[in-house]
Structure 1
């Protein structure tokens, strides 16, 4: 095997690895988008995170809360996302010549995601299964598309000197496009999930109170700067727990 062939093999693995990262990112973004589009489809990331929390020992939960405070759930979600990208990188590299490693990885990821979603309240089985498998299929298509588009062997119309630069640019464009799609999909999905909960609360009309209690704020005001009032709104409530999905009441 010549030095050039060895270098080409190494670069092919790197391209396939980065394409795997892009495929996983878009697939995760698609799951969040589907969760936002339907209230019967739980967020796969949140569902897996809930399973991780339930399976974690109590000392680890205590450490996460004491270390990260109110950011503990965000740290867990980001960790799941990053670990998924790393798995996509290694499976992508392993799939430079044959597609079965990353395809198998997406299938396993889909099964794990569906299993976690089935534990969530109000889940719609057909919608969750279909949306998760579609998201995994999208991830495979993104991986294969970027890998193929950035393959120098398929750039016969360019000169040999230009091929490496063009392949590199195509790979970067593919990654940038995948990142953009992922961010937009997650943003829309999360926004719809939050908006749905807020709309449910706004539509709920509570009955008039028979007896009104005295406002406890004055009795607990010690005149100290930086101390929040005893009664605060939901948006500013200082919540530290291990619940990724807060239970809601169906009005």
Structure 2
């Protein structure tokens, strides 16, 4: 599934639904002559679903409550199979039942009234299963989330320079909307945690264990910062990067209150679904704006992006820093634990690589000869972008015009004007960060610590 991008979950869900449909079809065919076998097949499938729910990673929901939707579905499926067989005149003994005199007049033995009643019952059971899966875990709806009033931050984000955005149609907006912000995680169903029941446990190698609820966090000193996030799975020129304005509590202040003990070099954070992430302790205490975020672009965090609380740490790929739906924060040592992604072959520490992308023109765009413009974004979080250059075909590297810098943790837009001549041309971009490191041309896949290489696009001038 790793090569499917954000299509992995729809494909997985579609595959599961298709498999269940085939299973149901087979069970129905078997049920014509062996009703008890068909019912047994249905029960086995339901039990497997219950076991999967009971053994999931979630820490948010009591296991008993978590499996209740499965029991509802199992009951509905079993009763449904039984009623379907009954509508066709079959009993559990595997042969048509004796028909009543009124039924004998019907050549096919079809009872329309029984069929409608069965259909209605199955529909109601299906709706009941959906409602159970949504209501029983005790989550909240979006109206409740939006009704939360975030306190005014004690430290506001810096005023953005007037020239922070490139004035070129098609360039990524400087601030990515919540709806457009990329989402990459391991979940099929987004948790909808009730903030009234949420708690963050801070423990491990600390002098004082802390337990913070949502009201505790909102009552602390909040800061507001523009920070660009990048997913380690982003390919060269890919879409898994976005910039947002976050509101949250500085993680360093929580750690100071807890009192970090000597020898600690990492934090293991755990999501409500049981996912674990390992973060270098230094990245949380070196002065960068690492926060427990509660707000995104002027509103409480969306469910997709970690409501009610998530981590945001500039300069590190998300799989080692951006724990969403966080509930546990353990100060520890890297040698004493392993995390979900590092167990799967990804690097333990993952600073974001210097990268750039061409947004305009799109690949194989057709433009007219004469003055032309290319534009895009570049990022090197916690180092900043010092220069962007563009190469036309095999020509020399030419410096692009940078938009005003909003901060070293924020991406930077650029524009490049050139004289387009007839024919096909390849445009290639590279960035240089403020440490002097030039973006490498060496190609590397995302695993184990982020992709590398130069983004290019082909344009047709005619």
Match of 1:88 among 24, 35, 39: 24
Does 2:157 align with 1:221?
Answer: no
Does 2:34 align with 1:127?
Answer: no
Rounded Cα–Cα distance in structure 1 between residues aligned with 2:133 and 2:152: 33
Structure richer in helix, relative to its length: 1
Pair 129,213 (structure 1): closer, same or farther in 2 beyond 3 Å? closer
Structure richer in strand, relative to its length: 2
C-alpha deviations, 1:135-160, integer Å up to 9, x for none?
21221111111211232755433465
Match of 2:86 among 130, 137, 148: 148
Match of 1:42 in 2: none
Rounded Cα–Cα distance in structure 2 between residues aligned with 1:201 and 1:131: 24
Quote how far apart the aligned CAs of 1:115 are.
2.6
Quote how far apart the aligned CAs of 1:178 are.
6.5
Segments of structure 1 that go 5 or more residues without pairing to the other structure are 1-59
TM-score, scaled relative to structure 2? 0.33
Pair 61,141 (structure 1): closer, same or farther in 2 beyond 3 Å? same
Match of 2:10 in 1: 74
Rounded Cα–Cα distance in structure 2 between residues aligned with 1:217 and 1:84: 55
Quote how far apart the aligned CAs of 1:95 are.
2.6
Pair 233,171 (structure 1): closer, same or farther in 2 beyond 3 Å? farther
Does 2:2 align with 1:61?
Answer: yes
Rounded Cα–Cα distance in structure 1 between residues aligned with 2:133 and 2:64: 21
Note if contact 2:165-2:173 (Cα within 8 Å) is conserved in structure 1: yes
Rounded Cα–Cα distance in structure 1 between residues aligned with 2:188 and 2:162: 33
Pair 140,183 (structure 1): closer, same or farther in 2 beyond 3 Å? closer
Note if contact 1:149-1:170 (Cα within 8 Å) is conserved in structure 2: no
Match of 2:53 among 82, 104, 117: 117
Pair 227,241 (structure 1): closer, same or farther in 2 beyond 3 Å? farther
Pair 215,163 (structure 1): closer, same or farther in 2 beyond 3 Å? farther
Match of 2:38 in 1: 102
Quote how far apart the aligned CAs of 1:226 are.
3.9
TM-score, scaled relative to structure 1? 0.55
Quote how far apart the aligned CAs of 1:218 are.
5.8
By relative contact order (CA 8 Å, sep 6+), the higher-ranking structure is 1
Deviates more, 1:72-81 or 1:147-156: 147-156
Rounded Cα–Cα distance in structure 2 between residues aligned with 1:241 and 1:218: 35
Quote how far apart the aligned CAs of 1:165 are.
7.2
How large is the Cα RMSD of the aligned pairs? 3.9
Rounded Cα–Cα distance in structure 2 between residues aligned with 1:138 and 1:188: 13
Note if contact 1:95-1:102 (Cα within 8 Å) is conserved in structure 2: yes
Match of 1:244 among 170, 174, 188: 188
C-alpha deviations, 1:29-70, integer Å up to 9, x for none?
xxxxxxxxxxxxxxxxxxxxxxxxxxxxxxx322x22xxx4x
1:96 aligns to what SS in structure 2? helix
C-alpha deviations, 1:223-251, integer Å up to 9, x for none?
33344423244334343554323456733
Rounded Cα–Cα distance in structure 1 between residues aligned with 2:81 and 2:39: 10
Instruction: Report the structure number with the largest CA radius of gyration.
Output: 2
C-alpha deviations, 1:67-93, integer Å up to 9, x for none?
xx4x44233223212211211211232
Map 1:194-209 to 2 at 5 A.
196-199=140-143, 201-209=145-153
